[in-house]
Structure 1
Amino acid sequence: MLDELPSRQQHVQYLRTVMVAAGVLPVRDEQIDGIPPWLDALLAAQPPHITRLIRPYASWSVLRRARGRSKGRASTPSVQKYARSRILIAVRFLRWLDEQQLSLGTITQRHVDAWLDAGTTTHLRLRDFLLWAHGRRLAPKLHVPWLGSQEDPDDFLDDHERWRLLRECFTEEDIPLHRRVAGSLVLLYGQRPQHIVTLTHSHITRRGTDTYLTFDRHPVLLPPPLAEIVQRLAEAERFGRRSILRDHDSGSELLFPGFRPGAFMDHGRLTKQLNARGIRVRPARNSALCSLAGDLPAPVVAELLGVHITTAVRWGRLVKRDWAAYLVARSEDGQ
C-alpha cells in the first residue's frame, strides 16, 4: 500500500522507516528495492512496445548493476538517482522516436545527434540504454559521448591548508564530533560524504592499541588522533533530533544516524556542514586522493579506499606515478 503512494513525499518515506524500525514491515534496501514500484507506475502510462523494451533494460541492466555496486555496503540516494535517471532518459527517447515516426531498430546516428542537440547534457545518459540495446541486436551501433568529465581536476587545497584543517578536526572541541570525523575522512582518505554517512560500528576494528576502519574490503589503520575521535563518536550518544521511536535503538549501529529511525544522515546535509566549516569537499578530496596516489600504487588505493581501479589509475597518472614496479613485485611474490 505504501508503494502505491508517491515515494518522493517525505511523510511517506518517514512512515515507512518508522514501520520498518518497529518491525511492522521487513527491512529492505530502500534505495534499490524502492525502484520497482516506481518503475511499475512509470510503465503503466507507457504504450506496450515501450514497456517491452524498458522493463528488461531496467530489471536486468540498471537494477542488476545497482545491486552489484551496493553489495557489501549500504546504498545511498545517489544509487537510486543514477538508476531512475537512466530509465527516464530511455523512456523519453523512445517517446521521441514515436513522435518522429521512427523505430529503435532503424534509427541512424543523425537521429541520435538531433535528439542530443535538442536537449541538455542529461540526454547523454542515453549512452547506457543504446549500448544495452545494441548488445541485444535491438539497435544499430550508435555513439553517445560519455557524460563524465574528461578533464583533470584543477581545484585543490595546498598542503599547508589541508594539514591545518586536519589539525582542527583532531583538536578543536567546539566542532561537533561527527563533523570532525567526517572532515578528517575527507581530508585524509578522500572519502565521499555519501559513503561516510553509511559507516557503522561494524566498520571499526580494534587490535590491541590499534584502530582500523574499513572503507571497502580491507581495514585501514587509523593514525592515533583520528582513531581517538572515531572511538569517541562510536561511544557517544546519538546526535541531532531524536526519532519518534524514542526507546528504539535501530540506529545505534550507525556512526552518522539520520532523523528517520534506522536511517543514516543525509549526505547532502553533511556536505553543507563541512563546506560551512571551511572544508570544501571537492578540493579536499582531490588533494587527499592526489597525495595518496603519489604514495601508493593504484591497485592499493582502489582496494583500501573502495574507489574504482580506473579512478585510482587516473589519479596515479595525474601525479605521474609509475606503478609497474609494484606489479613486478606482486608477480615475484607469487601473488
Structure 2
Amino acid sequence: MDSGVLPRVDRQLLLYQRWLNERLATIEDPEHRQLLRHFATWHQIRRLRTKAEKGPLGRSQINHTKQEVTQAGAFLAWLAGRGRAIGQCQQADIDAWHTESLATRRPSQSFLRWCMKTGQMPRLTLPPAVITQDSEPLHQNHRLAILRRVLNDDSLPPRARVAAALVLLYARPVSRIVRLTIDGVTDDETTVTVRLGDPPSPLPQPVAALMRAYLQSRQYLPYASSRSSQWLFPGRQPGHPMNPVSLQVHLREIGFPPQRGKTSAIRQLVLQAPAPVIAKALGYHDKTATRLVTEAGGTWSRYAPGDHSQ
C-alpha cells in the first residue's frame, strides 16, 4: 500500500497567509477587502507557491509581498478619498499617487498591473523605475579600494567583512548570502571553497584566511542558538538565518553599498569569462549574465560553445 508523501509546507508562506487574514480583517470596506483577497490569492500566493517548490522562501520575499498588499490597500483608500472606485481610476490619479511618494508607493504597482490585466481598472501608464545613484555600479577603482579596506581593516566586524568580500568578488546578493550554510564552506587546510554555484568557488588569499577567522569567531556569538546554527550568518531567532535587511544595514555602516558593489562585481566578472560559465559558477541565470555582458560592453555576448578554430 502506497501511503504517499505529504508535500512540504513552506513556513514563510504559512506565516504570510496568517498575516494576510489578520490584515484583511482590518479593512472596513468590503469591496476593497474582497479585491485585495483575490489579488493575494490568485496572484501573490500562486507566485509564492511556485517559488517555494524550488526552495525555501526568504523573509525578504515575504516582507515585499506584505508591502504590496499594504500599499494596494492604501491606494484603494486614497482613491476612494478622491471620490473614485478602482474601475473609475484615471491617469491623473496614477500620476498623483506616485508623485507624492514614489519610493514608498512603488510596491502598489504589482496590484495595479494585476487590476489592469484582470479588467478591474482601465489600462493606464505606470511610472518607470528610476535609476538612482544607489543602483549604479561602483567604479572599478572604488570597488578595489573597498575590497582592500575590507581585507585589511581588523577594526571592522568579521561578519560584515566576509559578506562584503563575497559581494565584491563573486557578486553575491545579500538575499543569497544569508542563505549560505557552514556545510557549503569546505577547508582542506590548503584551499577554502564556498558553494555559490557549480562547482564551488575557491576563495583567494587573504579572503580564505578571513573566512577561517570568521568561522572561528562564531563560537563567541552572544546567542547559543546562533553558535550551533548551520547558517553561515545566523539570525537571532533560533533556526533562522540573518535577516538580509539587517545584513545590508551592517554593510552600509562600514561604508559599503551592497547593491552597487554587486552590480560592479558581476560586470567585471562577465568581462573576464563567458556568461554561461559565470552564471553556472555563481548560480545566476545565464540570460541575466548575458544581459550584463551587453550592458558592460563586453564581447562574450557572442560566445557559443564548440570549436572556434575554423
Q: Please state which band the TM-score falls in when normalised by the shorter chain.
A: 0.7 to 0.9
TM-score (norm 2): 0.76
Aligned match of 1:141? 123
Say if 1:127 and 1:146, in contact at 8 Å, map to a contact too.
Answer: no
The equivalent position to 1:294 in structure 2, one of 259, 266, 271, is 271
Say if 1:32 and 1:80, in contact at 8 Å, map to a contact too.
Answer: yes
The equivalent position to 1:260 in structure 2, one of 237, 246, 252, is 237
The answer as to 2:227 corresponding to 1:241 is: no
Distance 1:174 1:87, change over 3 A: closer
The equivalent position to 1:42 in structure 2, one of 23, 26, 50, is 23
The whole-number CA distance in structure 2 between the counterparts of 1:151 and 1:259 is 32
The answer as to 2:202 corresponding to 1:222 is: yes
Read off the aligned partner of 2:235 and give its amino acid letter.
Answer: G
Deviation at 1:223, TM superposition (A): 3.2
The whole-number CA distance in structure 1 between the counterparts of 2:229 and 2:85 is 53
Distance 1:92 1:154, change over 3 A: closer
Aligned match of 2:33? 51
The whole-number CA distance in structure 1 between the counterparts of 2:119 and 2:286 is 30
Equivalence map 1:162-173=2 (5 Å)? 162-163=143-144, 165-166=146-147, 169=150
Taking every aligned residue pair, what percent have the same amino acid on both sides? 27
Distance 1:242 1:127, change over 3 A: closer
The answer as to 2:305 corresponding to 1:329 is: yes
The answer as to 2:61 corresponding to 1:79 is: yes
Aligned match of 2:261? 284
Distance 1:320 1:120, change over 3 A: closer
Structure 1 residues 215-265: Cα deviation after superposition (integer angstroms, max 9, x where no partner): 3x533421342345445545664342124xxxx689521111122222223
SS of the equivalent of 2:37 reads helix
The answer as to 2:106 corresponding to 1:124 is: yes
Structure 1 residues 191-237: Cα deviation after superposition (integer angstroms, max 9, x where no partner): 2333212211243357996554233x533421342345445545664
The answer as to 2:174 corresponding to 1:193 is: yes
RMSD (CA atoms): 3.7
The whole-number CA distance in structure 1 between the counterparts of 2:23 and 2:148 is 50
Structure 1 residues 258-277: Cα deviation after superposition (integer angstroms, max 9, x where no partner): 22222223434434444444
Say if 2:193 and 2:203, in contact at 8 Å, map to a contact too.
Answer: no
Read off the aligned partner of 2:222 and give its amino acid letter.
Answer: R
Read off the aligned partner of 2:202 and give its amino acid letter.
Answer: L
Deviation at 1:50, TM superposition (A): 1.7
Aligned match of 1:184? 165
The whole-number CA distance in structure 2 between the counterparts of 1:257 and 1:69 is 23
Distance 1:219 1:67, change over 3 A: farther
The whole-number CA distance in structure 1 between the counterparts of 2:298 and 2:38 is 42
Structure 1 residues 164-193: Cα deviation after superposition (integer angstroms, max 9, x where no partner): 554565566665543332221022012233
The whole-number CA distance in structure 1 between the counterparts of 2:116 and 2:135 is 33
Aligned match of 1:270? 247
More displaced stretch, 121-130 vs 149-158:
149-158
Read off the aligned partner of 2:112 and give its amino acid letter.
Answer: L
Structure 1 residues 288-322: Cα deviation after superposition (integer angstroms, max 9, x where no partner): 12211322344444444345667545532332123
Deviation at 1:140, TM superposition (A): 2.6
Unaligned runs of 5+ in 2: 1-7
Deviation at 1:112, TM superposition (A): 2.8
Paired residues in the alignment total: 299
Say if 2:10 and 2:52, in contact at 8 Å, map to a contact too.
Answer: no
The whole-number CA distance in structure 2 between the counterparts of 1:179 and 1:137 is 47
SS of the equivalent of 2:24 reads helix
Structure 1 residues 111-140: Cα deviation after superposition (integer angstroms, max 9, x where no partner): 433433455443333321122123223233
TM-score (norm 1): 0.71
Read off the aligned partner of 1:191 and give its amino acid letter.
Answer: R
